[in-house]
Amino acid sequence: MLGYGAGAQRLCGSRCALRRFVSTLRHVPASDTAVREVPTPLLFVAAPRWTGGATAQERFAPLWTHVREQGFSSLFLDLDPDTKGCAPSDTLALMEEEMVRLLRHPPPEVGVPPFPPALTACGVACVIAEKYASSHPLSALQLIDPPLSMARAAMEFPHLLGAKALPEFRYEPFFPARVVWTAEALAERQAREVPWFEMHRIEAQREEDEGGDVDRYEWASLEHGADEMLRWLEDEVGLDDEAVMDEAETTTDTRAEPVRVPPGTLPDWFTQGAYEFARDHSKKRPITLDESDLRERFIRGRGPGGQAINKLSTNVELVHEPTGTRITCQATRSRAQNREIARRLLSQRLEWLIKQAWGPVRGGAHVPRALAPSVLQSQWDKARKRKQTKRKKQQRRAAAS
């Protein structure tokens, strides 16, 4: 873990410093056992002295400890600018300046990330995140239990933001953004008798984009939301497309240009084993596997889930020996279900490896079903198109405003 401080102010007396303002940026890399490395970091923001809460690393521990095992690195930014004598309305500007300074000039050991981070904040600190997001690039923005508006923020946190409501945010995010509610926050909202139709601006924009009422993102707690956040980062934000395969997952370097072969040419392990393409063109399991080529073991799970995950060997590790492809699955608490899901994922991965090596199809526009793109490639292409379409809609709205 690496730390860095900025904006320090020391009040020197006859004995020692009486007060020191220090904002810190800490970095935790992805786990050494992760089978991939995602270059886009996750940024967790907190202001513990300002809000009276925990540090970012402590506050979001259920989230970052889970995704760390999936190849994500994390940055923890704890803001503590000198606000002595500063009007509450100017506090957000100071917080934003501190964020910009730390993220633009991180310590050499941390370095500047290759892509803008995916930012997560919680509670009243969400207004700091929105202040930063309104004028700086991000890969994604996730707000957990935010104030519904700046008017609500002034009502609920007058000691932090002043009794007079600050201007509402009007920015149009050119990146995936969402609002998540925990069960505790929803209960507090009901106790305060907040009207059911009152919602956050990002939620209202989502309903407009999707053409009607949509279900809000709800978590029982941060522990229960870790896996759902991972799926959002991979499916909606698209960070899974940027993941770099590690040698632990496959013995061959999948980042190198594959050896091209004529379309339809199958590897020796396929022709010599009991493999075949699904006759019904199944997308769940496109290739029937040869169980004799598989090495399977069961290990204890990691992350949230209680004893059913952490004290039982329900995590399935499946290795395809001819190619060295490794799949690990901890999707459910059932070992039997994880075994089935692992084989499904391995089948899709092997189909992708085969079709990745095939040369281009020539001699006409018609492509036989057997030579069509792999299931995984089709999924990646669809996700990329959805992301491009969403970005174009955001650009059109921004141009029209």
Residues 92 and 115: their CA atoms lie apart, in Å, by 25
Residues 319 and 296: their CA atoms lie apart, in Å, by 6
Residues 358 and 351: their CA atoms lie apart, in Å, by 11
Please state, as a whole number, how many other Cβ atoms lie within 10 Å of the Cβ of residue 353.
19
Mean pLDDT value of segment 115-131: 93
Residues 41 and 140: their CA atoms lie apart, in Å, by 10
- In terms of CATH architecture, what is 248-376? 2-Layer Sandwich (3.30)
If pLDDT is split at 50, 70 and 90, which confidence band does 212 have? low
* CB distance 239 to 70 below 8 Å: no
Nearest to 358 by CA among 280, 285, 270: 270
Query: Highest mean pLDDT: which of 137-146, 359-368, 389-398?
Result: 137-146
Residues 162 and 157: their CA atoms lie apart, in Å, by 7
∠ CA 65-67-68, nearest 5°, is: 60
| pLDDT single digits (tens) 20-37 | 568 899 999 999 888 778
pLDDT at 7: 42
pLDDT at 287: 93
| Secondary-structure class of domain 5-242 per CATH | alpha beta
Q: How much of the chain, in percent, has pLDDT values that exceed 70?
A: 82
Mean per-residue pLDDT of the chain: 80
pLDDT at 370: 67
* CB distance 269 to 287 below 8 Å: no
pLDDT at 313: 61
Please indicate whether the domains covering 5-242 and 248-376 agree at the CATH topology level: no
If pLDDT is split at 50, 70 and 90, which confidence band does 309 have? very low
The three-state DSSP-derived secondary structure of 144-212 is: ECCCCCHHHHHHHCHHHHCCCCCCCCCCCCCCCEEEEEEHHHHHHHHHCCCCCCCCCHHHHHHHHHHCC
Amino acid at 390: K
Q: Does residue 322 sit in helix, strand or coil?
A: coil
pLDDT at 21: 63
Chain centroid to CA 122: how far? 15
| pLDDT single digits (tens) 258-289 | 567 887 889 999 999 999 998 877 888 999 99
Amino acid at 174: F
If pLDDT is split at 50, 70 and 90, which confidence band does 195 have? confident
What does the domain layout of the chain look like in residue ranges?
Answer: 5-242, 248-376
